[in-house]
Chain A
Amino acid sequence: MARSVSTRRKLFFTVAAWSVALLIFFPVLWTILTSFKTEASAVASPPELLGADWTLQNYSDVWARSDYPRFFLNSVIISIGSTVLGLLIAIPAAWSMAFVPGNKTKDLLMWMLSTKMMPAAAVLIPMYLIFQKTGLFDTRTGLVLALMLMNLPVIIWMLYTYFKEIPGEILEAARMDGASLKNEVLYILTPMAIPGIASTMLLNIILAWNEAFWTITLTTINAAPLSAFIASFSAPQGLFYAKLSAASTMAIAPILIMGWFGQKQLVRGLTFGAVK
């Protein structure tokens, strides 16, 4: 009896989980499907699925009309650049907060997190003006800096949580064994925290890749990444849903594939320290 109840419960939760997952993924799925339809089929009411006209024309049109490789390259440089720069700053910061905390370390961490709660629009004008005056506007360097600053609290928090899981005695043992601070971080801390650093890196590349507010606001042509590429298809040429979907699919495909392969690492990273 108990067995049948547990099987039924299992079935219920499985169906529920799949439904929620499908609901979350549906907009992405619909965008991908729409990208293979003709413009007429894309706007048909009621929406067409099995009977739609399928085509690859949208992709060749989008490719022909825009410089996709340039946008792609900008996205790669900006997301990887901001993440690597962020890690270089965050690893020593998280190390000191985790292993040599001061009286105000907790407050500092909370303050850093609180900056993430501020709406981006609140600093739009000062940021815009600073970027214009300093010549950072529409440059990759500018966006690397902006996105790094934006995501730094998240990077530090994730690494801090990871480093806290590493017993302090192991680092003390390294110190006793004659390791300098550099060697302690290089040979002991970093290898032990590799899973954490990798998932932090992965998450931040995704966050930076998907960032649209600043990347669109602070660029025009030269440094524009894929978020601006999508935006460029929605405004000047009217709302061509199929082409817009093709552009969106081309923009999200690389990160979606990367996320798919890295999902195990990502889940482990995000839930680390949650139990125990």
Chain B
Amino acid sequence: MGKIVLKSVRKSFGDVHVIPSVDLTIENGEFVVFVGPSGCGKSTLLRLIAGLEDTTSGIIEIDGKDATALPPAKRGLAMVFQSYALYPHMTVRKNIMFPLKMAGMDLAAATKKADAAAKVLNLTSYMERKPGQLSGGQRQRVAIGRAIVREPAAFLFDEPLSNLDAALRGNMRLEITELHQTLKTTMIYVTHDQVEAMTMADKIVVLQAGNIEQVGSPLELYNHPANAFVAGFIGSPHMNLLTGSDAQAEGALTIGVRPEHLDISTTAGKWKGVVSVAELLGSDTFLHVNVEGHGTMTVRGGGDVNLRHGDTVYLTPQPDKMHRFGTDGKALA
């Protein structure tokens, strides 16, 4: 089991209200990603769930029981930290066995469990090494191993991949997703990388300044952002957000068009612009176009788009794919 419910959870440091008030339900077995820009309170929220920070007010329930006042050790959760936080003086085996030792499990059973975890994570040949002798990816695996042996109610990941290089990050992303599919345990994952959020999550929670902006599946957030902030944050490259007369014509303060929802023409279209940078990715071409009256817009074209710096282009939004936002930033129906 691993259902976690937050009821009016608040966290303040003196006069600074990091989390003004959050209500959230995380269902058993869900992979939930907290995403948002730096300083949005996503790590604080995770630490409140872990019990590493005390709530200012509100209730945190784990599997129907009030866990607000419980210390971290009693909550039955396991956490993987950004810095891995391995115990440098212990071997990999002892690191993985540490939670079991703390739980009072006998040595033989603990060794068996640690070996099984090591096998799943391809760590068998590194068991007698110290963390200092491992690569970043291996250390991250040990941290995950230490978490899974406890068979926790939920896993908490605090930006676990941000210290890894791009290639390894991709691999580990896949491994964590596979692990979730195998274990079917609740996972809460904090990241500022919206690509990680989109690819891994069952449910994404977008945070800004300690407030939840929107909760939903990756595609819900992508196709139906609740407000201009979510629209601009989810999706890579970012959605083009335009104001002024074009927005007013649509009856909105801001309109949003995703880069892939702009048709490109060299002869005619709604907006005229000049290509400043063309990024050729092979499969796609990202054009950064300086549009008169709107600044730089990003357009996604196919790999065969033959446009370069200085070329004139015309862009036309696909009308049914346009997003409209009102004066309060919220999406208009």
A-side residues, CB < 8 A to B, are 167, 169-170, 172-180, 183, 187-188, 191-192
A-B interface, 5 closest residue pairs, ranked by CB to CB distance from nearest:
A178-B102, A173-B85, A177-B99, A169-B85, A178-B73
**New A-B pairs, 20, CB < 8 Å, besides A167-B85, A176-B72, A177-B73:** A169-B85, A172-B52, A172-B79, A172-B81, A172-B85, A173-B86, A173-B87, A173-B146, A175-B52, A176-B77, A176-B79, A177-B78, A177-B98, A177-B150, A178-B103, A178-B150, A179-B73, A179-B98, A180-B73, A188-B87
Nearest B residue (CB) for A175: B72
Interface of B, helix, strand, loop or mixed by DSSP: loop
CB pairs A–B below 8 angstroms (18 shown): A169-B82, A170-B86, A170-B87, A173-B85, A175-B51, A175-B52, A175-B71, A176-B50, A176-B72, A176-B77, A177-B73, A178-B99, A179-B73, A179-B98, A180-B73, A191-B89, A192-B87, A192-B89
Bound complex: CA of A175 vs CA of B47, how far in Å? Answer: 12
Question: B89 and A176: CB pair below 8 A?
Answer: no
Interface of A, helix, strand, loop or mixed by DSSP: helix
B-side residues, CB < 8 A to A, are 50-52, 71-73, 77-79, 81-83, 85-89, 98-99, 102-103, 146, 150
Chain A residues with CB below 8 A from B77, complex form: 176
Bound complex: CA of A191 vs CA of B208, how far in Å? Answer: 40
B162 to chain A, nearest CB (A): 13
Bound complex: CA of A173 vs CA of B71, how far in Å? Answer: 13
Chain B residues with CB below 8 A from A179, complex form: 73, 98, 102
Nearest A residue (CB) for B81: A169
Bound complex: CA of A180 vs CA of B79, how far in Å? Answer: 16
Set B51, B79, B103: member contacting A173, Cβ < 8 A: B79
Chain A residues with CB below 8 A from B99, complex form: 177-178
Chain B residues with CB below 8 A from A167, complex form: 83, 85
Bound complex: CA of A156 vs CA of B25, how far in Å? Answer: 45
